[in-house]
Amino acid sequence: MLVAAGVAALATACAERTTIETFPPHHRIRPLQHGVFLPHGPQDGPAFTTLIGAAPQWMLLFRDWTHESPPLGALEAVRAQGATPVLTWEPWYAPPVDTAPADAAHQPAFALSRMLAGDHDHRIRTWAGALASWGHDVVLRFAHEMNGDWYPWGSGLQGNTAEQYVRAWHHVHDLFAAAGAANVRWCWAPNIPAPGAGTDTARLADFFPGDDVVDLLGIDGYNWGFPAPPLAWTAPAELFGPSLAELRGLGTRLPIVVTETASAEGDVSGHAKADWITQLFDHLTRQGDVWAVIWFHERKERDWRVDSSAAARTAYRHAVAKLS
């Protein structure tokens, strides 16, 4: 069994989908949990624990469709550290981060129409069977940020529509169900809608597959900290407030997880990453339906790392310590 209590409760709830009362409590009865994405994977978990003074309770992984089978060794390593594995499953061939071409999302083989046509059923069945045989609980974050324009399954790209996305989700979910993969918990995770920032301004509800095939509501959002919109410095409440309202407007009682977030260091006076971290945890702690927040600990487009500065690291350590 996973040590993390969140997935244990979720597993029970998902196994008994008979009435609304069997879902997890809309307002959590335990402290907000924290998690992390580590670019080198769970092997860096102990070092991150030392860095922040507490073991992460959720651990985010990424795999694209160049991988013919799921990373069972990495999932076991996450479990061994007492964390909940969140496996982001991306239906494309991900280019190297440093050399990604501008048209990287143009991969016709991974248009939603091709998924619906059954082109990838063999791979989907292979993954489903492997995870079912493995047998332990895993959160599968399939085709995330579907309302953005940076992935082949994104809205408006390659003829993709929100309606196709919903059908593709059901198609993949049905193949997993046929394989007996009842240990898979499905996480639907859009990006925060940001007009002008590459996200579709359609309602998140248009992309939602339904609470009969979703177990967790995810949301991704970053404080890019640029001088001007649409990616200007944004306080946590302003960044996540509208999207959390949209998720609640879906009418489900599913728990919410901030599946990716981080902040850049501020470039102007009054924009301090350390303050942003404190505000983030304070804000999410007050959201009774948000179970966890997962920090993207990598230097990528910006220096998102917890320890991009001594002040940021100190703020993160203090924020996490207050959760216990």
* pLDDT at residue number 98: 74
**The model scores a pTM over 0.85:** yes
* pLDDT at residue number 26: 56
Does the structure show a pLDDT above 80 at 61? yes
Average pLDDT over residues 49-59: 98
Percent of all residues in the chain with a pLDDT value above 70, rounded to a whole number: 90
* pLDDT at residue number 230: 87
Average pLDDT over residues 40-65: 98
Domain count, the chain: 1
Of 55-64, 67-76, 155-164, 199-208, where does mean pLDDT reach its minimum? 199-208
Does the structure show a pLDDT above 70 at 41? yes
Considering the chain, what is the average pLDDT of its residues?
Answer: 91
* pLDDT at residue number 267: 76
Question: Which of 192-196, 221-225, 268-272 ranks highest by mean pLDDT?
Answer: 221-225
Of 163-172, 197-206, 224-233, where does mean pLDDT reach its minimum? 197-206
Give me the residue label for tokens 């995770």.
Answer: 189
Does the structure show a pLDDT above 80 at 1? no
DSSP 61-106: EEEETT-SS--HHHHHHHHHTT-EEEEEEESS-PPPGGG--TTTT-
Does the structure show a pLDDT above 80 at 174? yes
* pLDDT at residue number 22: 33
- The pLDDT-based confidence of 124 (bands split at 50, 70, 90) is very high
Does the structure show a pLDDT above 90 at 250? yes
- The pLDDT-based confidence of 101 (bands split at 50, 70, 90) is confident
* pLDDT at residue number 20: 27
Give me the residue label for tokens 């991900």.
Answer: 94
What are the C-alpha distances in Å from 68 to residues 60, 75, 84, 173? 19, 16, 23, 18
Give the contacts of 139 (CB within 8 A, at least 6 positions apart): 7, 84, 85, 86, 87, 185, 186, 187, 215, 216
Does the structure show a pLDDT above 60 at 7? no
CATH number, domain of 271, equals 3.20.20.80
- The pLDDT-based confidence of 181 (bands split at 50, 70, 90) is very high
Return the SS3 of 60.
strand
Average pLDDT over residues 19-28: 43
Q: What is the pLDDT of residues 132-146, one digit of tens each?
A: 999 999 999 999 999
* pLDDT at residue number 322: 96
Please tell me the distance from the alpha carbon of residue 151 to that of residue 162, in angstroms, as a whole number: 14
Domain span including residue 9: 5-95+103-321
Does the structure show a pLDDT above 90 at 17? no
Q: What is the pLDDT of residues 103-118, one digit of tens each?
A: 999 999 999 999 999 9
Please tell me the distance from the alpha carbon of residue 186 to that of residue 260, in angstroms, as a whole number: 16
